[in-house]
Structure formats: structure tokens, C-alpha cells
Amino acid sequence: MTLQNPPGQPHFAYRGNELFCEEIRLSDLVRAHGTPLFVYSKSAMLAALAAYQRGFAGRNVQICYAMKANPALGVIQVFAEAGCGFDIVSGGDMDRVLAAGGRAEKIIFSGVGKTRAEMRRALRAGIGCFNVESEAELEVLSEVALSMGVAAPVSIRVNPNVDPKTHPYISTGLKDSKFGVAHERVLPTYQRAVKLAGVRVVGIDCHIGSQITQEGPYLDAVDRMLDLVEAIEAAGIPLHHIDFGGGLGIDYHGETPPDAGLLWQKLLARLDARGFGQRHLMIEPGRSLVGNAGVCLSEVLYLKPGEQKNFCIIDAAMNDLPRPAMYQAFHQIVPLNRRPGAPDTYDVVGPICESGDWIGHDRSLAVQPGDLLAVLSAGAYCMSMASNYNSRGRAAEILVDGAQAYVIRQRETIADQMQGESLVGQMPTTLFI
């Protein structure tokens, strides 16, 4: 029997009754590495990147992987070797990029709460640009840079008040968002920036949200950004680059986001029409590069029938897959080897002691204890937000490249979790009063 392949993830496909990632049978990886287990397809990542590259053919564009989507060193390495830059939001992010072979001059540092220590570390590393998110941050960054005898390269992140039509927790471009400088304050902020000796204006930045599945918000944001570029440069402040952020969605449950290449052809047409087509551009895709490149594999522990609900209890939980609990997000769930028989309807839940520990509601599955399931579209914002809640170790991660599988993160042990902790009295401290 040939089974329908998982939607949205062409690099994960059934051969006969068994689910493969590229050339590797996923059940073989479970036998070798256990569950829960994250598996990523290198080919899927590079195919997603290629869609952007096709859309930007012949243009001066730097693609910066937004690594908060998945910060595994092996994943960063894939994009570094493909020539990408990186969008970071912490000093730890920067350390990961550099450890994986990324180039400091291709790093852009976003985030609303950069500390002075992070600023100093980034300046010492020689990063390409700080995306400044407030006037207060601009002043502090200038002060820090001056103390080091350098000028920090900056762009101002604009909050354009554009509705991205996505979940409110991942909308970042509306006026009630904590992100960016309000549209009406952008020009005065640039005018202040050029008077500060510790900063050097190099660009302008905008990011309106995540999991965006319509092209309209992007087109609106482009128009508002170009209006600002014209106003800023009319005031005598040249901008070397324009950064349009990321946020393009993926297919989790039948969504139809625009193709990255076709979307950017439309956006570039807007830039051409207004005379900005040859500018140095930057974008910051994350989810759209890795989301559908990953799955989380899990074992069915128990089936628990009930009067109102049947529960399929698996060994993956909200600490491994936080998106359903955080955003009420949908992930397809499919068997690694579908068994014959009529399916039942289950809520698929984890073992954590929280009612919010669910992975999928009302799923039709023909399963028995010991069966293996794949939670799809798990490449983004799963392991990056994983935790040790209930003293659970974080899962192992595997990167598949054709017929080769590489362990890019070992399964976390309880000893790993407790490293750095101590009982009272074992590590005295001295208080200075």
C-alpha cells in the first residue's frame, strides 16, 4: 500500500509503508538514538534557501538566517557553508554563529534588550550591524562604542504599524508591539543618530511578524519603508542597505504561503518602480528555511480511553514541542509505519504534569503502544524553545544528508541538567556589604 506523503515536507516520504527522511528510514534512527528525537533534512533546508536565491538572482541581497528559529550548531553550519549571514538576538546567538563557522561581518544583531556586555562583545567581534530598537538603546550603544574607541554600525528597526494577519504573539509590526521605533519617530531618531559620535548609520530595518501567509502585509510594509527611506535621505542621511526582515510562513495545516522566490519578485518590482531596485538589500528568514525541514519522532506509551476523549500518550511533551501549548499551534502527526485497521480519534498528549501538555487534538490514528509517530513541521521554534520542565532532558538532534545521518546534539542527561548546581553549603559565597 502506498501512503499519502506528509504535506508540506517533500523530503519526508513513505516508501511502501515506512517513512523516510531523504535516504534514511526514520525507524532506524529511533532504534539507534531513541525518542523523543528531532530529525532534520539538509536537502530541505537548502531547497528552501534556493527559493529565496532564485527570487534574488542578479540582485545585491544578503540572506541572514534568523537563527532563533533553530540555533543548533549543525543547522547554523549548513547556512554558513551556503554563504548566509545571520540575524541574532543575544550574545549567545553570536557565539553559536562564530562556533559554527559564520562570519562576524555578516551578523546583524536584533532584539529590544541588548545589554552593555552584549554590545561590547559584538563590537569586539566586528559584527556587520546593530538593528537598534529604541532611542534609549541608541544612546547606550553610542556610549559603549565610544568607550571602546569605535563607532557602532546601526540601522533603526521601524515599527510600520502593519498588521501581518498572524497570531498576536508573533505579530511584531503593530503600534502596540514592543519592537522597533514607531513610524512617526523614525526620522527624528535618525537625525539624533547622526549626531552621536559612537554610532555610524548604515541602514534601515523592518520586521512585521512571523508565520505570515499573505503577500499583502509585505507589500504594505515595503511601501511604508520606502516612504521613510525617501524622507530620511531627503534629510541628508544616506542609507547603505534596506533590511525587510523575514516572517514568511510555512504549511502546517493547509496554509498556502506565497513561494519565497515569487514573493520577492513582486517586492523587487515595487522597489524597481520607485528607483530602489539596485540597493543593497537584506532579509532575515527563519521558519521558512527550517520549519518544514524537521520532524520530532516519538513513541506511543499508552492509549487511555475516556468517556469524552481518548488519549494517545506519547513520550514527547510540551518541553520538546512548546508551540501547541504556547500558540495553540497545529502540527500534523503521522505514523512511521502505518498499521492496518480502523483508526480511532485521540488527543495526542505528553507525560508532563500540565493540562496544557498536548501535541494535537482530535487526531485520527490507528496506533498501539510501542508504535512510533512523527510530529511534522518541527524544525522551527521547537528545540529552540525546549526546556527541562519536569526535569526532562532535551532531545537528541540528527541531521540527515542523503544516506548519512549526523548527531548534531546528544540527548541531555540528568547529570547535564544538574551541572553547575550544588547543595546548600557545598559552595560558600562571600557577601560584600
233 assigned ligand-binding residue: no
Residue 75 within any structural domain of the chain = no
Catalytic residue among 64, 129, 312, 353: 353
Placement of cell 513561494 in the chain: 259
How far apart are the C-alpha atoms of 41 and 294, rounded to whole Å?
6
| Confidence at residue 174, expressed as pLDDT on a 0 to 100 scale | 45
Establish if 152 belongs to a structural domain.
yes
Query: Per the annotation, does 31 bind a ligand?
Result: no
Residues 388 and 406 in one domain: yes
Examine residue 7 and state whether it is found in any structural domain, yes or no: no
Residue 139 assigned ligand-binding role: no
- Determine how β-strand 18-21 pairs with β-strand 181-182: unpaired
| Last residue within a domain, chosen from 251, 283, 315 | 283
Q: Is position 97 within any domain?
A: no
- Pair (310, 345) in one structural domain: yes
Residues of the chain with pLDDT under 70: 1-4, 7-8, 161-179, 210, 429-433
Confidence at residue 208, expressed as pLDDT on a 0 to 100 scale = 77
Q: CB-side exposure of 40: number of CA atoms within 13 Å?
A: 29
CA 366 from chain center: how many Å?
Answer: 32
Would you say 327 is a known binding-site residue?
A: yes
Last residue of some domain: 265, 283, 301? 283
**Quick one: 141 and 182 in the same domain?**
yes
Q: Are residues 278 and 296 in the same domain?
A: no
18 is in an annotated binding site: no
Q: Which residue type occupies 105?
A: E
Domain assignment present for 62: no
So what's the pLDDT on residue 177? 63
Q: Do 219 and 261 lie in a common domain?
A: yes
381: left (phi over 0), alpha (psi -120 to 50) or beta: left
Query: Rounded CA gap, 297 and 25, in Å?
Result: 12
Q: State the DSSP string of 262-325.
A: HHHHHHHHHHHHTT-TTSEEEE---HHHHGGGEEEEEEEEEEE--SS--EEEES--TTT--HHH
Of 283, 300, 333, the residue at which a domain comes to its end is: 283
The pLDDT value recorded for residue 67 is 96
How far is 221 from 209, CA to CA, in rounded Å?
11
Q: What is the pLDDT of residue 2?
A: 41
Asked if 26 and 122 sit in the same domain, the reply is no
The rounded distance, in Å, linking the Cα atoms of 306 and 5 is 31
Instruction: Check whether residue 358 and residue 339 sit in a common domain.
Output: yes
> Cα separation of 359 and 29, whole Å?
22
Please indicate, yes or no, if residue 389 is contained in any of the structural domains: yes
C-alpha cell at 101: 563557522
Residues 262 and 189 in one domain: yes
- Number of Cβ within 10 Å of residue 250's Cβ equals 21
Give the pLDDT of residue 340. 83
How far does the chain reach from its first CA to its final CA, in angstroms?
Answer: 74
User: Do 257 and 371 share a domain, yes or no?
Assistant: no
State the Cα–Cα distance between residues 325 and 240, nearest whole angstrom. Answer: 41
Q: Check the annotation: does 40 bind a ligand.
A: no
Q: For position 17, which CATH number holds?
A: 2.40.37.10
302 is in an annotated binding site: no
Is residue 388 domain-shared with residue 261, that is, in the same domain?
no
* Inter-helix orientation angle 135-147/116-125, to 10°: 60
The reply to whether 176 and 243 lie within a common domain is yes
Asked if residue 177 lies in contact with residue 209, where contact means CB atoms within 8 angstroms, the answer is no
Q: 42-55 and 73-81 helices cross at what angle (nearest 10)?
A: 40
| CA–CA separation, 289 and 94 (whole Å) | 19
Active site residue 353: yes
Q: Which of 369, 355, 279, 365 is nearest to 317 (CA)?
A: 355
State residue 7's pLDDT score. 65
Looking at the structure of the chain, the number of domains it has is: 2
Q: Strands 18-21 and 12-15: what pairing?
A: antiparallel
pLDDT of residue 255: 78
**Cα(363)–Cα(306) distance, integer angstroms:** 15
Instruction: Check whether 124 is labelled as a binding-site residue.
Output: no
**Contact by Cβ (8 Å): 372, 35:** yes
For the domain that residue 214 is a member of, what is the CATH number? 3.20.20.10
Dihedral sign (CA 276, 277, 282, 285): positive
Residue 433 falls inside a structural domain: no
CA–chain centroid gap for 149, Å, is: 34
Domain range spanning residue 19?
12-41+291-418
- Report the C-alpha gap between 70 and 79 in whole angstroms: 11
**Is position 143 annotated in a ligand binding site?**
no
Q: 229 in a domain, yes or no? A: yes
Burial 342-368 (b: 16+ CB within 10 A, else e): eeeebbbbbbbeeeebbbbeebebebe
Query: Using alpha carbons only, how large is the chain's radius of gyration in Å?
Result: 23
Q: Do 345 and 401 fall within a single domain?
A: yes
Q: How high is the pLDDT of residue 166?
A: 44
CB atoms within 10 A of CB 254: 9
pLDDT given at position 161: 64
